[in-house]
Amino acid sequence: MKAFVSIDCLSKPRPTVTAVKKNSKLLFFDAFDSTFDIYDLTTHSWSIEVLPFPNNGHTVYSYNDIIYITDGNQVWKLEF
């Protein structure tokens, strides 16, 4: 018996992507794009948000459902 595999595209095409989870949401970041995609796992809906600063190679971390973004010099805590 073959197993059925379902595949969904969960983010727009990006050269590099970082995905982190916050509560029931998946956030998709690109290292050089100030916009990021949010996929709600409960409602299966999408939204797009914009960082309040230019994203020039920032790194994204998630710890205890808190999302941090750093450029190596400063760290921002992302709240929404």
If pLDDT is split at 50, 70 and 90, which confidence band does 17 have?
confident
Give the residue from 24, 67, 31 showing the smallest Cα distance to 47: 24
The DSSP code sequence of 3-49 is PP------S---SS-EEEEETTEEEEE-TT-SEEEEEETTTTEEEEE
Residues 29-76: pLDDT tens digits? 888 888 889 999 999 999 999 888 888 888 898 888 899 998 888 899
List the chain domain ranges.
Answer: 18-78
Output the pTM of the full model: 0.76
Residues 18-34: pLDDT tens digits? 889 999 999 998 888 88
44: which 2 tokens? 């299966």
